[in-house]
Amino acid sequence: MPRILLAECKQEISSFNPIIGDYDNFTINRGPELLAYHQDKETELGGALHVFATDPEIETVPIYGARAPSAGPLAQKDFDRIAAELLDAIKPHVEGADAVFFAMHGAMGCTEELDPEGYLLQELRKLTGAQIPIVITQDLHGILTARMLEHTNGLAIYHTYPHVDFADTGRRAAELLLKVLNGAEPVVARVRVPALVRGDELITASGVYGESIRYAQALEQQPGILAAGMMIGNPFTDVPELCSQAVVVADGDEDVARSEALQMAADFWSRREKMQPALIDIEDAVARASDYDGPVIFTDAADAPSSGATGDSNALVAALRDGGYRGKVLAPLVDAPAVYMAHDAGLGATIPVVLGGSLDSRFPPLDLEVEVVQLGDGEYPSESWGTPEHAGHTAVLQCDNLTIVCVSRSVRFIDRSVFIAHDLDAKDYDLIVVKSPHCQWQFFDEWADANLNIDAPGSTSANLPTLGHSACQRPMYPLDPDVAFEPHAEIFA
């Protein structure tokens, strides 16, 4: 009767976000709470639980989970607390356990430890010893490290962007784990590619990155291959092993793992130039905005909280104002001080506010006189997943043609959730600011006349060379000129 311990630790950070993250950002699930959180959910553990439930002989033991929205680097002491809680929770259950299933993102980063997941796996391995297999899941934006692989027996990696295969990745990892318990001998080959990529070609259903993904998926259908994936890393998590990497897990066959990983890496490298964003200068975008009859989207990927940015950039609103744009503008903004001022003043009040830049000093605050047209509690469902969003108190502020939806906590702005929560229909506006790495077709592009990807300042700018990477390996395309790729497969068995 196999006993499988379940754990989770997931966050993605931007090293360029100046706000240090803390323990309070995390949802912590202990023991049975972990099952309650994930059972029948579209999550990695949710998908794994379905697999494990098909065999009544399997006993799952939920241990500990910590998950947080994307943010700036995690304070070291707060990571130490999470690591200690997780390891302390696992310790009493190691005796008699047969395997560990560990859902991880892969793009965590702390103020000191730059490979938190590697640390967790290394310390977990000290508890379990070499005999108990540890299988993990990874976001394709994860940064898999040598230390992680040294202490892992296998992994499954997301195959979709935008991500719609959390549960499927959990299913694949769980099936891999069961094969290991039945005698499979995973050999992991990884090839690091010195390239960072961004832009619409990363949308796996339509973009060129999808070709790498489909190759990996085809590999996974082959006998003898346990898993495969093409990871692109989160380009904003500036840590030593940040890069793109081809990963193949074979059953005992080092040669096939190596040759397939090398092939995937070479194919990916050959497509790197296509996987760079086409960005439009802010002033040019403002000048063009009036040319369209229907709604125009300004995609501000540089300030996407879902990628780890603060969400308090006023750069596009300021440029539209300075440029004399007269259409109706709808824009989200993380701005706790403005929200509290609005709540203090009350509905219908007209107040002076300094808008934006309350977190990231690269955005000079904008002096505006605004009318408080709505106040809210920030509790609303995500349009994408139906899961609860916690935006803190909110306020909708009106200034001439600008409608600014302010929240007091960083939340994802990848869809229309925050607008719908305030009964605002994005289609009623001439120009909508979307703080997301990509504007998703079904939420915006389907009905908009144009979507301009703006080259704006921000801690998750797709203009990667402007960010100032200092920790990742160099040279790195496109941060440096004349980057050479010398393929080399590292083997972990």
Which of 204, 313 has the CB closer to Zn ion?
204
Q: Is 251 in the site for Zn ion (CB under 5 A)?
A: no
DSSP secondary structure string for all residues of 450-489: EEEEEE--STT-S-GGGS---SS-SS-BTTSSS------E
Out of 78, 115, 139, 360, the only residue in the binding site for Zn ion (CB under 5 A) is: 139
Nearer to Zn ion, 161 or 419 (CB): 161
Name the segment binding Zn ion (CB under 5 A); options: 77-85, 123-131, 140-148, 326-334: 140-148
Rank residues 141 and 198 by Cβ distance to Zn ion and give the closer one. 141
Judged by CB, which is closer to Zn ion: 74, or 370?
74
The amino acid present at 425, given as its one-letter code, is: D
420, 382 contact by CB (below 8 A): no
Cβ within 8 Å of residue 8, ≥6 positions away:
29, 34, 38, 44, 45, 64, 65, 66, 67, 102, 103, 104
Helix (H) or strand (E) holding 269: helix 254-270
Which C-beta is closer to Zn ion: that of 141 or that of 159? 141
Contact predicate 30/86, CB 8 Å: no
Stretch that binds Zn ion, among 132-140, 224-232, 293-301, 468-476 (CB under 5 A): 132-140
How many other C-beta atoms lie within 10 A of the C-beta of residue 27? 14
CB of 158 to Zn ion, least distance (A): 7
The candidate with the shortest Cα–Cα distance to 432, out of 250, 440, 342, is 440
Helices (H), 206-245: 209-220
Residue number with CB closer to Zn ion (141 or 171): 141
Query: Which one, 412 or 416, has the nearer CB to Zn ion?
Result: 412
* Sequence-ordered alpha helix ranges (H) in 271-425: 282-289, 315-322, 336-345, 417-420
CB of 378: closest distance to Zn ion in angstroms? 24
Q: Which of 10, 38, 67, 141 binds Zn ion (CB under 5 A)?
A: 141
- Structural tokens at position 78: 């707060």
- Which stretch in 33-41, 137-145, 164-172, 465-473 sits in contact with Zn ion by CB under 5 A? 137-145
Residue nearest to Zn ion as judged by C-beta position:
141
The structure tokens listed for 274 are: 């296509």
Q: What is the DSSP letter of 342?
A: H
# chain residues binding Zn ion, by CB under 5 A: 2
CB of 48 to Zn ion, least distance (A): 18
- Residues linked to residue 406 through DSSP beta bridges, in sequence order: 333, 395
Least Å distance, CB 279 to Zn ion, is 21
Shortest distance, position 412 Cβ to Zn ion, whole Å: 12
Report the nearest approach of Zn ion to the CB of residue 197 (Å).
Answer: 13
Residue pair 431/165 in contact (Cβ under 8 Å)? The answer is no
CB-CB contact of 320 with 314 (8 Å): no
Q: Which stretch binds Zn ion (CB under 5 A): 17-25, 133-141, 210-218, 282-290?
A: 133-141
Q: Which of 42, 53, 41, 65 is nearest to 178 (CA)?
A: 53
Question: Which residue, 17 or 403, has its beta carbon nearer to Zn ion?
Answer: 17
Nearest distance in Å: CB 260, Zn ion? 23
CB of 425 to Zn ion, least distance (A): 29
| Residue among 237 and 461 whose Cβ is closer to Zn ion | 237
User: Contact residues for Zn ion (CB under 5 A)?
Assistant: 139, 141
